Structure 1
Amino acid sequence: MLSRTADSLFWLGRYTERAANVARGLNVAWRLDGLGTGEEWHRILVASGCEPGFMEKHGEVTPEAVVDFLVRDPDNSSGILSCFAAARSNARQVRTALTVDMWSGLNESWAQFRNSSPDDFQGERLPEFLDRVRERVLLFNGAAQDTMLRGEAFLFVQLGTALERADNTARILDVKHDMLTPGSNGTVEFAQWQAILQSVSALRAYHWIFRERLVPARIAELLILRPELPRSLVACHSRVTEVLEMIAVGQGGRRGECHRLSGEITASLRYCKLSDILEGGLHEWLTRMIGRTAQLGGAIEDFYIRGG
């Protein structure tokens, strides 16, 4: 596969996943806004990596400004509309590698969202808009799973999706790490714990696995170490390692630094204990994980896209 084709497929997976992740975060911020903590809109900016760009442009955090910046502002490359535009651009460059269902789903999504005005996603209309975003990404992912040949094209889309998902889970946990330490069990804290799980669609999964009330340490365990949860760090990085290995086998065993680094990260997640993570500091551990995930993404691009 040509490196530019691999690049487009890899980023197609990343951008579609990023659009859904931003939508999930905004939905949670909107739901928690009524609690009056005044922090959720700032937290979603940090979790999405958009805080510096937002503060440079707006200077002050308001719900309306945050929503507009994370949905349609063309200056924000990680905004929902920017992600759909970038995903469609990458898809056009590799259209013959995609199925009709994948291209149609993505093209229809862009047609739906590109002319959105603030009236379409501000105030009480925001949850409906965000639900449509998530549905369109689920449609695209479902089309890929159901219709795409299990060749290199499929694997590079999967690689981008899994890596982006790992980065998002780590960022959500990091920006809310203070909520996962022992403290009071009041209504606000309970709602915040629910929000963490809802942001990765894991509230029902938590109760299914643990069958008990919400406990901060259990939430951290679920999102970091439980392989049953598709968005846990161990599940995401295990998938990255698995996909990299399949690509390597298909290329006659060709491997590089990204394979070593991915295997190292996955092994550390599979065999570490939550008590060790918490003892060393959850924030410090997550900061390192975010850095290592970014390092892995760079190593993948160096090896497969820039020809390292």
Structure 2
Amino acid sequence: MLSRVAESLFWMGRYTERAELTARILDVHLQRVMEDPWLDESAACRALLTHLGMAAPTVELDSHRLMETLGYDRENRSSVAGALTAARENARGARDVISSEVWECLNATWLDLPKQREEAGAAGPHLFCRHVRQRTAMLTGLIDATVSRDDGRRFLELGWNLERAAMTTRLLSFCLGDPAVHSSWVALLRSCGAHEAFLKTYRHAADGPIVAEFLLLDRLFPRSVYSSLRAAERLLAELDTAGGPSRSGLDDPARRAIGRARTDLEFQRIEDIADGLPDLLARLQQTCSTVSGHIGGRYFTQPGPFTWAAGTSV
């Protein structure tokens, strides 16, 4: 496979996952603002932008301005529209590898964004967020049903698992600093599409330790950090055609970095890491950035570490 095609598929996966998760986050945030009359809307918007790696503007922030920044701005690749634009650009560079149905779904979703934004202005941004969630879910289903499970598919899945792990750790960091503890943890679960799975697993009200345990350590929930890292580690092993570890260990720095992070989670209990949870989340975020850089250095045309705020395909 050409390195530029592999690179396009990797970033297509990252940007698609980012668009879906950002739409989920915005939808839950806006619902929370509507339901909580005592919430400081401007402070909540600023905190969310900060934990997503974006500089908050100096002007007064409200939900409308937040939607403009995180929802509709096509020039900002950390926004929903910007991430979908970047995913489409990368998919166009891999047209020979992805199926026509996948391309048509992504292209139609991108073309429909102006209409969805216009309708959201009249009926509320929930419609825009729901549209993006539904379309990205459809795209994921088409990828699963129509794209061969070859190296191209592995790069695509590697991208979205790495993005999923990074986003989940950032959201956990955001909730740790939120004084509205209970509503914040429920909002986090909803943002990750995990509320029903959490209740089914624990049958318990959402509070910090068990929500953190579920989103960090759960083996069965596909959006947990552990599950995402394990999937990414497996994909890197399948992509490594050098024949496995040498006598002195693995030669792939990306596999070493992600394996250390996965192992660190696998043999932990939440009680053991509760006091150092902020530091653990910061290390996991750094690991995702480091692994992305190692993947670029080994497989892609222009290696370089991933910078969250820029979020650009190299």
What TM-score comes out, normalization by structure 1 length? 0.89
**Residue 271 of structure 1: CA displacement?**
1.0
CA gap of 1:123–1:269, structure 2 versus 1, over 3 A, is farther
From 237, 257, 275, the counterpart of 2:253: 257
Which residue of structure 1 aligns with residue 289 of structure 2?
294
Query: In the alignment, is the contact (CA less than 8 A) between 1:22 and 1:70 conserved in 2?
Result: yes
Query: In the alignment, is the contact (CA less than 8 A) between 2:116 and 2:128 conserved in 1?
Result: no
**Residue 42 of structure 1: CA displacement?**
2.3
Deviation per residue, 1:151-194 (Å, 9 max, x gap): 00100000000000000000000011135xxx9xxxx6432221
Q: Residue 40 in 1 paired to residue 44 in 2?
A: yes
Which residue of structure 1 aligns with residue 200 of structure 2?
208
CA gap of 1:69–1:178, structure 2 versus 1, over 3 A, is closer
Query: In the alignment, is the contact (CA less than 8 A) between 2:221 and 2:227 conserved in 1?
Result: yes
Within 5 Å, give how 1:1-308 maps onto structure 2: 1-34=1-34, 35=36, 36-38=38-40, 39-50=43-54, 52=55, 54-55=56-57, 59-113=59-113, 115-116=114-115, 119-122=118-121, 124-179=123-178, 189-249=181-241, 252-253=243-244, 255-280=251-276, 282-306=277-301
One-letter code aligned to 1:45: L
SS in structure 1 at match of 2:53? coil
Query: In the alignment, is the contact (CA less than 8 A) between 1:26 and 1:44 conserved in 2?
Result: no
SS in structure 1 at match of 2:232? helix
**Residue 283 of structure 1: CA displacement?**
1.7
One-letter code aligned to 2:39: T
One-letter code aligned to 1:42: R
SS in structure 2 at match of 1:279? coil
Deviation per residue, 1:281-306 (Å, 9 max, x gap): x2222112111211111111111114
Return 5+ residue gaps in structure 2 as ranges: 246-250, 304-314
Equivalenced residues, count: 294
One-letter code aligned to 2:69: F
Cα distance between partner residues in 1 of 2:53 and 2:120: 21
One-letter code aligned to 2:226: V
One-letter code aligned to 1:175: F
Query: In the alignment, is the contact (CA less than 8 A) between 2:117 and 2:128 conserved in 1?
Result: no
**Residue 101 of structure 1: CA displacement?**
1.5
Return 5+ residue gaps in structure 1 as ranges: none
Query: In the alignment, is the contact (CA less than 8 A) between 2:253 and 2:294 conserved in 1?
Result: yes
**Residue 214 of structure 1: CA displacement?**
2.1
CA gap of 1:24–1:43, structure 2 versus 1, over 3 A, is farther
CA gap of 1:156–1:190, structure 2 versus 1, over 3 A, is same
Cα distance between partner residues in 1 of 2:74 and 2:104: 24
Q: Provide the identity percentage.
A: 29
CA gap of 1:94–1:119, structure 2 versus 1, over 3 A, is closer
Which residue of structure 1 aligns with residue 312 of structure 2?
none
SS in structure 2 at match of 1:235? helix
SS in structure 1 at match of 2:220? coil
One-letter code aligned to 1:193: W
Query: In the alignment, is the contact (CA less than 8 A) between 1:71 and 1:80 conserved in 2?
Result: yes
CA gap of 1:225–1:97, structure 2 versus 1, over 3 A, is same
CA gap of 1:236–1:117, structure 2 versus 1, over 3 A, is closer
